[in-house]
Amino acid sequence: MWSRREFLRSCVASSSLVAVGLSIPRFLSRTAAATLPADKPGGKDTLLVVVQLTGGNDGLNTVVPFKDPLYAKYRQALRLPLPQLHKIEDDVALHPSLKGFAELLDDGALCVVQGVGYPNPSQSHFRSMDIWHAGSMAENPSEGWLGKTLRQLSGSQAFHIAQENEEAPLALSGSPGRVPSLTRLEDFRLHMRAAHRGDLLAQRKVLQQASAGTSSPGLLDFIQRTATQTYAQVQRLQELAQSYEPRVPYPASGLAQRLKLVAQLIDAEVGARIFYVSLDGFDTHAEQLATHGRLLQELSDAVTAFFKDMSARGHRDRIVLMTFSEFGRRVAENGSKGTDHGAAAPMFLVGGRVHAGVVGNHPSLADLDMGNLKHHTDFRQVYAAVLDQWLGVSSRQVLGSAFRQAPVLQTRAT
Protein backbone atom coordinates (compact mmCIF):
# COMPACT_ATOMS: atom_id res chain seq x y z
CA MET A 1 0.00 0.00 0.00
CA TRP A 2 1.31 3.38 -0.97
CA SER A 3 1.49 6.26 1.37
CA ARG A 4 0.38 9.63 0.16
CA ARG A 5 3.93 10.89 0.30
CA GLU A 6 5.25 8.04 -1.81
CA PHE A 7 2.56 8.75 -4.30
CA LEU A 8 3.45 12.42 -4.53
CA ARG A 9 7.09 11.61 -4.88
CA SER A 10 6.46 9.11 -7.63
CA CYS A 11 4.32 11.57 -9.54
CA VAL A 12 6.97 14.22 -9.43
CA ALA A 13 9.70 11.82 -10.32
CA SER A 14 7.98 9.89 -13.04
CA SER A 15 6.41 12.59 -15.08
CA SER A 16 5.82 16.19 -15.65
CA LEU A 17 2.39 15.66 -14.16
CA VAL A 18 2.83 18.11 -11.33
CA ALA A 19 5.77 19.94 -12.73
CA VAL A 20 3.96 23.20 -12.38
CA GLY A 21 3.66 24.00 -8.71
CA LEU A 22 0.58 26.09 -9.20
CA SER A 23 -1.49 23.27 -10.55
CA ILE A 24 -0.99 20.73 -7.81
CA PRO A 25 -4.55 19.68 -7.18
CA ARG A 26 -6.15 20.33 -3.86
CA PHE A 27 -6.33 16.72 -2.83
CA LEU A 28 -2.64 16.21 -3.41
CA SER A 29 -1.54 19.28 -1.55
CA ARG A 30 -3.83 18.60 1.36
CA THR A 31 -1.91 17.01 4.19
CA ALA A 32 -3.19 14.32 6.46
CA ALA A 33 -6.48 16.16 6.89
CA ALA A 34 -8.39 13.47 5.15
CA THR A 35 -7.58 10.87 7.70
CA LEU A 36 -8.72 12.99 10.59
CA PRO A 37 -12.25 12.51 11.81
CA ALA A 38 -14.79 15.02 10.67
CA ASP A 39 -14.44 17.66 13.34
CA LYS A 40 -18.14 18.33 13.42
CA PRO A 41 -21.26 16.95 11.87
CA GLY A 42 -21.60 18.40 8.41
CA GLY A 43 -17.87 18.73 8.21
CA LYS A 44 -16.27 18.86 4.81
CA ASP A 45 -14.95 15.34 4.80
CA THR A 46 -18.05 13.38 5.66
CA LEU A 47 -19.04 10.63 3.26
CA LEU A 48 -22.33 8.99 2.48
CA VAL A 49 -22.67 5.51 1.01
CA VAL A 50 -26.20 4.55 -0.01
CA VAL A 51 -27.02 0.87 -0.39
CA GLN A 52 -30.24 0.19 -2.23
CA LEU A 53 -31.95 -3.13 -1.57
CA THR A 54 -33.89 -3.59 -4.79
CA GLY A 55 -37.18 -5.44 -4.93
CA GLY A 56 -38.69 -4.68 -1.51
CA ASN A 57 -36.91 -6.09 1.52
CA ASP A 58 -39.01 -8.07 4.01
CA GLY A 59 -38.48 -5.79 7.00
CA LEU A 60 -40.48 -8.01 9.30
CA ASN A 61 -37.98 -10.84 8.87
CA THR A 62 -35.04 -8.45 9.00
CA VAL A 63 -35.77 -6.76 12.32
CA VAL A 64 -38.03 -9.29 14.01
CA PRO A 65 -40.56 -8.62 16.83
CA PHE A 66 -39.99 -12.18 17.95
CA LYS A 67 -42.05 -12.00 21.13
CA ASP A 68 -45.19 -10.82 19.39
CA PRO A 69 -47.61 -13.77 19.13
CA LEU A 70 -48.96 -12.17 15.97
CA TYR A 71 -45.56 -12.64 14.34
CA ALA A 72 -45.87 -16.38 14.82
CA LYS A 73 -49.42 -16.26 13.58
CA TYR A 74 -48.67 -14.34 10.38
CA ARG A 75 -45.42 -16.11 9.65
CA GLN A 76 -45.73 -19.85 9.76
CA ALA A 77 -43.59 -21.16 6.95
CA LEU A 78 -41.36 -18.11 7.17
CA ARG A 79 -40.97 -17.88 10.94
CA LEU A 80 -37.31 -17.51 11.84
CA PRO A 81 -35.90 -19.91 14.45
CA LEU A 82 -35.77 -18.10 17.77
CA PRO A 83 -32.43 -19.42 19.06
CA GLN A 84 -30.57 -18.19 16.00
CA LEU A 85 -31.89 -14.63 16.10
CA HIS A 86 -29.58 -11.86 17.29
CA LYS A 87 -31.45 -10.12 20.06
CA ILE A 88 -30.87 -6.39 20.06
CA GLU A 89 -33.64 -5.23 22.39
CA ASP A 90 -36.07 -6.95 24.71
CA ASP A 91 -38.54 -7.69 22.01
CA VAL A 92 -36.72 -7.21 18.71
CA ALA A 93 -33.95 -9.21 17.14
CA LEU A 94 -32.00 -9.27 13.89
CA HIS A 95 -32.28 -11.99 11.25
CA PRO A 96 -29.82 -14.88 11.85
CA SER A 97 -27.83 -13.81 8.77
CA LEU A 98 -27.19 -10.36 10.21
CA LYS A 99 -24.45 -11.50 12.57
CA GLY A 100 -22.12 -8.80 11.29
CA PHE A 101 -24.73 -6.13 11.92
CA ALA A 102 -25.18 -7.36 15.49
CA GLU A 103 -21.45 -6.99 16.00
CA LEU A 104 -21.51 -3.50 14.55
CA LEU A 105 -24.23 -2.65 17.03
CA ASP A 106 -22.05 -3.87 19.91
CA ASP A 107 -19.30 -1.75 18.44
CA GLY A 108 -21.55 1.32 18.58
CA ALA A 109 -21.62 1.67 14.82
CA LEU A 110 -25.13 0.59 13.82
CA CYS A 111 -28.40 2.44 13.96
CA VAL A 112 -31.65 0.58 13.25
CA VAL A 113 -34.56 2.84 12.32
CA GLN A 114 -37.84 1.00 12.57
CA GLY A 115 -41.10 1.65 10.77
CA VAL A 116 -39.89 3.90 7.96
CA GLY A 117 -42.20 4.74 5.06
CA TYR A 118 -44.33 7.51 3.65
CA PRO A 119 -48.04 8.40 3.44
CA ASN A 120 -50.31 6.55 0.99
CA PRO A 121 -47.63 4.01 0.16
CA SER A 122 -47.43 2.81 -3.43
CA GLN A 123 -46.94 -0.90 -3.96
CA SER A 124 -45.53 -0.56 -7.44
CA HIS A 125 -41.77 -1.18 -7.50
CA PHE A 126 -41.26 1.62 -9.98
CA ARG A 127 -43.44 4.25 -8.42
CA SER A 128 -42.24 3.57 -4.90
CA MET A 129 -38.60 3.50 -5.99
CA ASP A 130 -39.14 6.86 -7.73
CA ILE A 131 -40.53 8.32 -4.52
CA TRP A 132 -37.54 7.17 -2.48
CA HIS A 133 -35.12 8.38 -5.15
CA ALA A 134 -36.76 11.76 -5.68
CA GLY A 135 -37.41 12.30 -1.98
CA SER A 136 -40.82 13.56 -3.03
CA MET A 137 -44.20 12.32 -4.12
CA ALA A 138 -44.21 14.28 -7.40
CA GLU A 139 -45.38 12.42 -10.50
CA ASN A 140 -42.66 11.52 -13.03
CA PRO A 141 -39.81 13.11 -11.11
CA SER A 142 -36.74 14.03 -13.12
CA GLU A 143 -34.39 14.96 -10.27
CA GLY A 144 -33.15 12.84 -7.38
CA TRP A 145 -32.45 13.79 -3.80
CA LEU A 146 -28.73 13.10 -4.12
CA GLY A 147 -28.53 14.98 -7.40
CA LYS A 148 -29.99 18.03 -5.70
CA THR A 149 -27.62 17.50 -2.80
CA LEU A 150 -24.67 17.57 -5.18
CA ARG A 151 -25.83 20.97 -6.39
CA GLN A 152 -25.19 22.26 -2.91
CA LEU A 153 -21.98 20.33 -2.39
CA SER A 154 -20.26 22.24 -5.13
CA GLY A 155 -16.97 20.78 -6.16
CA SER A 156 -17.55 17.27 -4.92
CA GLN A 157 -18.34 14.31 -7.05
CA ALA A 158 -20.36 11.20 -6.60
CA PHE A 159 -19.91 7.69 -7.92
CA HIS A 160 -22.47 5.10 -8.85
CA ILE A 161 -20.88 1.69 -8.52
CA ALA A 162 -22.92 -0.26 -11.00
CA GLN A 163 -23.50 -3.87 -11.75
CA GLU A 164 -22.99 -4.73 -15.41
CA ASN A 165 -25.55 -2.79 -17.49
CA GLU A 166 -27.19 -1.18 -14.48
CA GLU A 167 -28.46 2.29 -15.27
CA ALA A 168 -27.57 5.31 -13.20
CA PRO A 169 -30.19 5.73 -10.46
CA LEU A 170 -32.70 8.55 -10.54
CA ALA A 171 -31.47 9.55 -7.07
CA LEU A 172 -28.29 10.92 -8.63
CA SER A 173 -29.83 12.79 -11.55
CA GLY A 174 -30.10 16.53 -11.50
CA SER A 175 -26.55 16.96 -10.29
CA PRO A 176 -24.56 19.78 -11.89
CA GLY A 177 -21.97 17.45 -13.41
CA ARG A 178 -22.48 13.96 -14.72
CA VAL A 179 -22.21 11.29 -12.07
CA PRO A 180 -20.11 8.44 -13.43
CA SER A 181 -21.24 4.84 -13.25
CA LEU A 182 -18.29 2.55 -12.66
CA THR A 183 -18.35 -1.20 -12.80
CA ARG A 184 -14.67 -1.74 -12.29
CA LEU A 185 -11.69 0.44 -11.64
CA GLU A 186 -10.40 -0.20 -15.13
CA ASP A 187 -13.33 1.83 -16.51
CA PHE A 188 -11.72 4.90 -15.05
CA ARG A 189 -8.78 5.21 -17.38
CA LEU A 190 -7.60 7.10 -20.41
CA HIS A 191 -8.21 5.49 -23.71
CA MET A 192 -5.64 5.19 -26.43
CA ARG A 193 -5.24 3.18 -29.57
CA ALA A 194 -1.63 2.45 -30.18
CA ALA A 195 0.27 0.66 -32.90
CA HIS A 196 3.03 -0.49 -30.60
CA ARG A 197 4.52 0.14 -27.19
CA GLY A 198 6.59 3.12 -28.26
CA ASP A 199 3.52 4.67 -29.82
CA LEU A 200 1.63 4.18 -26.57
CA LEU A 201 4.31 5.87 -24.50
CA ALA A 202 4.61 8.72 -26.98
CA GLN A 203 0.88 9.34 -26.80
CA ARG A 204 0.90 9.33 -23.04
CA LYS A 205 3.63 11.95 -23.09
CA VAL A 206 1.49 14.26 -25.19
CA LEU A 207 -1.40 13.82 -22.76
CA GLN A 208 0.73 14.83 -19.84
CA GLN A 209 2.14 17.76 -21.71
CA ALA A 210 -1.36 18.89 -22.62
CA SER A 211 -2.45 19.24 -19.03
CA ALA A 212 0.64 21.10 -17.97
CA GLY A 213 -0.20 24.56 -19.21
CA THR A 214 1.28 27.83 -18.20
CA SER A 215 -1.73 30.04 -18.50
CA SER A 216 -3.01 32.61 -16.05
CA PRO A 217 -6.11 31.91 -13.96
CA GLY A 218 -9.19 31.46 -16.06
CA LEU A 219 -11.13 28.81 -17.91
CA LEU A 220 -8.12 27.31 -19.65
CA ASP A 221 -6.31 27.05 -16.38
CA PHE A 222 -9.37 25.39 -14.86
CA ILE A 223 -9.43 22.75 -17.58
CA GLN A 224 -5.72 22.15 -17.31
CA ARG A 225 -5.96 21.74 -13.58
CA THR A 226 -8.91 19.38 -13.88
CA ALA A 227 -6.96 17.38 -16.46
CA THR A 228 -3.86 17.18 -14.26
CA GLN A 229 -6.02 16.08 -11.38
CA THR A 230 -7.83 13.55 -13.53
CA TYR A 231 -4.64 12.03 -14.92
CA ALA A 232 -3.24 11.79 -11.41
CA GLN A 233 -6.44 10.12 -10.20
CA VAL A 234 -6.39 7.73 -13.10
CA GLN A 235 -2.82 6.80 -12.41
CA ARG A 236 -3.46 6.42 -8.71
CA LEU A 237 -6.56 4.31 -9.25
CA GLN A 238 -4.87 2.04 -11.74
CA GLU A 239 -2.07 1.49 -9.27
CA LEU A 240 -4.59 0.96 -6.50
CA ALA A 241 -6.44 -1.57 -8.60
CA GLN A 242 -3.33 -3.68 -8.47
CA SER A 243 -2.00 -2.86 -5.06
CA TYR A 244 -4.98 -2.18 -2.79
CA GLU A 245 -4.81 -4.57 0.09
CA PRO A 246 -7.90 -4.48 2.24
CA ARG A 247 -7.24 -4.50 5.97
CA VAL A 248 -9.89 -7.17 6.36
CA PRO A 249 -10.82 -9.73 3.72
CA TYR A 250 -13.87 -8.90 1.60
CA PRO A 251 -16.26 -11.72 0.70
CA ALA A 252 -16.45 -12.69 -2.97
CA SER A 253 -20.05 -11.50 -3.32
CA GLY A 254 -21.03 -8.84 -5.83
CA LEU A 255 -22.02 -6.31 -3.20
CA ALA A 256 -18.77 -6.83 -1.30
CA GLN A 257 -16.78 -6.24 -4.47
CA ARG A 258 -18.74 -3.07 -5.20
CA LEU A 259 -18.16 -1.82 -1.68
CA LYS A 260 -14.49 -2.67 -2.01
CA LEU A 261 -14.42 -0.41 -5.04
CA VAL A 262 -16.04 2.30 -2.94
CA ALA A 263 -13.33 1.77 -0.34
CA GLN A 264 -10.65 2.15 -2.98
CA LEU A 265 -12.19 5.36 -4.27
CA ILE A 266 -12.50 6.74 -0.74
CA ASP A 267 -8.95 5.84 0.05
CA ALA A 268 -7.69 7.35 -3.19
CA GLU A 269 -9.31 10.65 -2.19
CA VAL A 270 -10.82 11.31 -5.56
CA GLY A 271 -12.93 14.10 -4.16
CA ALA A 272 -16.23 12.25 -4.05
CA ARG A 273 -18.49 12.34 -1.03
CA ILE A 274 -21.46 10.31 -2.19
CA PHE A 275 -21.42 6.69 -3.32
CA TYR A 276 -24.32 4.62 -4.53
CA VAL A 277 -24.50 0.83 -4.75
CA SER A 278 -27.38 -1.59 -4.97
CA LEU A 279 -28.18 -5.20 -4.24
CA ASP A 280 -30.98 -6.80 -6.25
CA GLY A 281 -33.21 -9.79 -5.60
CA PHE A 282 -35.40 -8.81 -2.65
CA ASP A 283 -38.68 -9.36 -4.51
CA THR A 284 -39.28 -12.65 -2.73
CA HIS A 285 -42.78 -13.74 -3.71
CA ALA A 286 -41.99 -17.45 -3.34
CA GLU A 287 -39.64 -19.66 -1.37
CA GLN A 288 -38.40 -16.64 0.51
CA LEU A 289 -36.61 -18.18 3.45
CA ALA A 290 -33.42 -19.30 1.74
CA THR A 291 -33.20 -16.43 -0.75
CA HIS A 292 -33.79 -13.76 1.85
CA GLY A 293 -31.28 -15.32 4.22
CA ARG A 294 -28.66 -15.39 1.49
CA LEU A 295 -29.29 -11.76 0.52
CA LEU A 296 -29.10 -10.51 4.11
CA GLN A 297 -25.94 -12.54 4.55
CA GLU A 298 -24.42 -10.85 1.52
CA LEU A 299 -25.51 -7.44 2.83
CA SER A 300 -24.29 -7.96 6.36
CA ASP A 301 -20.96 -9.55 5.46
CA ALA A 302 -20.19 -7.00 2.76
CA VAL A 303 -21.09 -3.96 4.85
CA THR A 304 -19.21 -5.27 7.88
CA ALA A 305 -16.07 -5.95 5.87
CA PHE A 306 -16.30 -2.53 4.26
CA PHE A 307 -16.73 -0.74 7.55
CA LYS A 308 -13.90 -2.62 9.23
CA ASP A 309 -11.59 -1.94 6.31
CA MET A 310 -12.47 1.74 6.34
CA SER A 311 -12.10 1.95 10.12
CA ALA A 312 -8.67 0.41 9.92
CA ARG A 313 -7.72 3.10 7.43
CA GLY A 314 -8.89 5.87 9.72
CA HIS A 315 -12.15 6.67 7.96
CA ARG A 316 -14.41 5.31 10.70
CA ASP A 317 -15.80 8.66 11.71
CA ARG A 318 -16.14 10.00 8.17
CA ILE A 319 -18.54 7.37 6.97
CA VAL A 320 -22.27 6.90 7.08
CA LEU A 321 -23.60 3.94 5.12
CA MET A 322 -27.36 3.89 4.77
CA THR A 323 -29.57 1.10 3.46
CA PHE A 324 -33.09 1.41 2.11
CA SER A 325 -35.58 -0.57 0.06
CA GLU A 326 -38.55 0.71 -1.93
CA PHE A 327 -40.97 -0.94 0.49
CA GLY A 328 -41.30 -3.72 3.04
CA ARG A 329 -43.46 -6.77 2.47
CA ARG A 330 -46.92 -7.94 3.45
CA VAL A 331 -47.16 -9.03 7.07
CA ALA A 332 -48.98 -12.26 6.28
CA GLU A 333 -47.02 -14.69 4.14
CA ASN A 334 -48.60 -15.97 0.92
CA GLY A 335 -49.28 -19.54 -0.20
CA SER A 336 -45.95 -19.96 -2.00
CA LYS A 337 -43.82 -19.53 1.10
CA GLY A 338 -43.14 -15.96 0.11
CA THR A 339 -44.46 -12.49 0.75
CA ASP A 340 -46.13 -9.86 -1.41
CA HIS A 341 -45.43 -6.13 -1.64
CA GLY A 342 -45.91 -4.21 1.58
CA ALA A 343 -45.19 -0.81 3.11
CA ALA A 344 -43.15 0.30 6.14
CA ALA A 345 -39.76 -1.31 6.84
CA PRO A 346 -36.56 -0.62 8.76
CA MET A 347 -33.49 1.25 7.53
CA PHE A 348 -29.92 0.71 8.72
CA LEU A 349 -27.24 3.33 9.19
CA VAL A 350 -23.65 2.26 9.75
CA GLY A 351 -20.80 4.52 10.83
CA GLY A 352 -18.67 5.78 13.66
CA ARG A 353 -20.96 8.68 14.34
CA VAL A 354 -24.41 7.15 14.04
CA HIS A 355 -26.73 6.94 16.99
CA ALA A 356 -26.02 3.38 18.05
CA GLY A 357 -29.13 1.38 18.81
CA VAL A 358 -32.73 1.16 17.78
CA VAL A 359 -34.75 4.23 16.83
CA GLY A 360 -38.52 3.98 17.16
CA ASN A 361 -40.71 1.04 18.03
CA HIS A 362 -41.51 -1.85 15.80
CA PRO A 363 -44.75 -1.00 13.99
CA SER A 364 -47.69 -2.80 15.51
CA LEU A 365 -48.72 -6.09 13.98
CA ALA A 366 -52.20 -5.57 15.38
CA ASP A 367 -52.80 -2.28 13.61
CA LEU A 368 -52.29 -2.86 9.91
CA ASP A 369 -53.21 -0.89 6.82
CA MET A 370 -54.61 -3.38 4.31
CA GLY A 371 -52.33 -6.05 5.71
CA ASN A 372 -49.27 -3.80 5.70
CA LEU A 373 -47.25 -2.26 8.51
CA LYS A 374 -47.87 1.44 9.15
CA HIS A 375 -44.89 3.76 9.19
CA HIS A 376 -44.18 6.13 12.07
CA THR A 377 -41.08 7.72 10.58
CA ASP A 378 -41.12 9.35 7.16
CA PHE A 379 -38.04 8.36 5.17
CA ARG A 380 -37.48 12.03 4.48
CA GLN A 381 -36.90 12.54 8.21
CA VAL A 382 -33.93 10.19 7.90
CA TYR A 383 -32.81 11.96 4.71
CA ALA A 384 -33.16 15.30 6.52
CA ALA A 385 -30.89 14.17 9.36
CA VAL A 386 -28.28 12.88 6.91
CA LEU A 387 -28.45 16.06 4.83
CA ASP A 388 -28.44 18.67 7.57
CA GLN A 389 -26.35 16.97 10.20
CA TRP A 390 -24.02 14.86 8.16
CA LEU A 391 -23.46 16.35 4.72
CA GLY A 392 -24.14 19.89 5.88
CA VAL A 393 -26.60 20.84 3.15
CA SER A 394 -30.06 22.28 3.59
CA SER A 395 -32.56 19.45 3.62
CA ARG A 396 -35.30 21.99 3.08
CA GLN A 397 -33.86 22.87 -0.30
CA VAL A 398 -33.38 19.27 -1.28
CA LEU A 399 -36.68 17.89 -0.05
CA GLY A 400 -38.81 20.92 -0.83
CA SER A 401 -40.08 21.33 2.72
CA ALA A 402 -38.82 20.97 6.26
CA PHE A 403 -38.87 17.53 7.86
CA ARG A 404 -38.16 16.85 11.51
CA GLN A 405 -34.81 15.11 11.64
CA ALA A 406 -34.92 11.53 12.81
CA PRO A 407 -32.46 10.95 15.69
CA VAL A 408 -30.17 8.68 13.73
CA LEU A 409 -26.87 10.49 14.24
CA GLN A 410 -24.92 11.41 17.32
CA THR A 411 -25.55 14.95 18.36
CA ARG A 412 -22.30 16.40 19.59
CA ALA A 413 -21.56 19.65 21.23
CA THR A 414 -19.39 21.53 18.78
Partner 1 sequence: MKPAMTPEQAWAAYRPSPDNPWDTRKVLHLYRRAAFGATYAEQQHALQIGPHKAIDELISGRPGWDAFDREAAGLAETIASQSDALQMRAWWFHCMLYSPHPLREKMTLFWHNHFATSQAKVQSVRYMLGQNQLLRRHALGSFRTLLHAISEDPAMMVWLDTHLSTRRQPNENYARELMELFSLGIGNYTEQDIREAARAFTGWQIRHHRYYFNASEHDDGPKTVLGRSGRFNGHDIVDLCLDHPAAARFLARKLFRFFVSEEMTPDRELLEPLAQKLRSSNFDVRSAVETILRSQLFFAPIAYRSRVKSPVDFAVGIVHALEGRIGPTALAQATENLGQKIFYPPSVKGWDGGRAWINASTLIERHKLALAITSTEDSSFGDHCDPAALARKYQKNTDEQALTFFLELFLANDLHEQGRQALYDYLAQTRRGSFPPYWTDQDIQDHRVRTLCYLVLIQPEFQLD
Partner 2 sequence: MAKALPTLPYSHRQCSDSIRRVATLSFCLGLLCAKTAPLPADPLEVIPPNVIGVVKVERPTKLVDTAWMLWNYIQPASPNYRRFQESAAWRRVQHMVRYVEKETGRGWKDLLFEVSGRGAALVFFPTDPVGVALVLDGTSEPAVQRLYRVTIALIESEQNRQEKPDAKHTSVRRGVEVTGFGDNLFLAAYKSVFLVANRRTALDDLLDQVAGDPKHSFAYSNAYRQARPLIPDGSLVWAWQNLDIVKRDENIKNLLALPSFFPPFHILFGGLLDVVHRSSFLVVSASQVDRDMVLELRLPAGSAGMRAPMQAHLARAAGKDTPLLPLLQPEHTVVSLSFCLDWAQLWRERSFLFPVDQLKVLEEFDKNSGRFLFGTRLGQLLEMLGRRHRLVIAYTEPAYKRRPPNRLPGFALALELREPEAFARAIEAPLRTVGLLGSFAVDMQLIEEQVDGERLIAYRFEENDKNQAIGDGVLFHFTPCFARVGNQFLLCSDMVLAKRLIPVLKAPGTADAPAGTAVLAEFSFQGLAKLFEASQHYLVVQQVLEQGLPTQEAQEVVLRQLQFFSSQKNVRMQVLYEPHQYCQRLVWTLAPSVKKDP
Summarize as ranges the residues that interact with partner 1 (CB under 8 A): 139-143, 147, 157, 173-180, 188-199, 202-203, 205-207, 209-215, 218-220, 222-224, 226-227, 229-230, 233-234, 270-271
Among 3, 119, 196, 401, binds partner 2 (CB under 8 A): 196
Q: Counting contacts by CB under 8 A, is residue 32 touching partner 2?
A: no
210 binds, among partner 2, partner 1, none (CB under 5 to 8 A by kind): partner 1
HEC string for the chain: CCCHHHHHHHHHHHCCCCCCHHHCCHHHHCCHHHHCCCCCCCCCCCEEEEEEEECCCCHHHCEECCCCHHHHHHCCCCCCCHHHCEECCCCCEECCCCHHHHHHHHCCCEEEEEEEECCCCCCCHHHHHHHHHHCCCCCCCCCCHHHHHHHHCCCCEEEEECCCCCCCCHHHCCCCCCCCEECCHHHCCCCCCCCCHHHHHHHHHHHHHHHCCCCCCCHHHHHHHHHHHHHHHHHHHHHHHHHCCCCCCCCCCHHHHHHHHHHHHHHCCCCEEEEEEEEECCCCCCCHHHHHHHHHHHHHHHHHHHHHHHHHCCCHHHEEEEEEECCCECCCCCCCCCCCECCCEEEEEECCCECCEEECCCCCCCCCECCECCCCEEHHHHHHHHHHHHHCCCHHHHHCCCCCCCCCECCCCC
Which member of 197, 219, 245, 413 binds partner 2 (CB under 8 A)?
Answer: 197
Give the residue, chosen from 12, 82, 194, 220, that forms a contact with partner 2 under the rule CB under 8 A: 194
Query: Which one of the spans 119-127, 196-204, 374-382, 394-402 is the region binding partner 2 (CB under 8 A)?
Result: 196-204
- Partner whose footprint covers residue 270, from partner 2, partner 1, none (CB < 5 to 8 Å by kind): partner 1
C-beta of 190: minimal distance to partner 1 in Å? Answer: 6
Q: Of 39 and 199, which CB lies nearer to partner 2 in the complex structure?
A: 199
Nearest distance in Å: CB 3, partner 2? 25
The minimum distance between CB 335 and partner 2, in angstroms, equals 8
* Binding at 214: pick from partner 1, partner 2, none (beta carbon under 5-8 Å per type): partner 1
- Residue 39 or residue 199: which is nearer to partner 1 going by CB? 199
Residues at the contact surface with partner 2, assessed by CB under 8 A: 192-197, 199-200
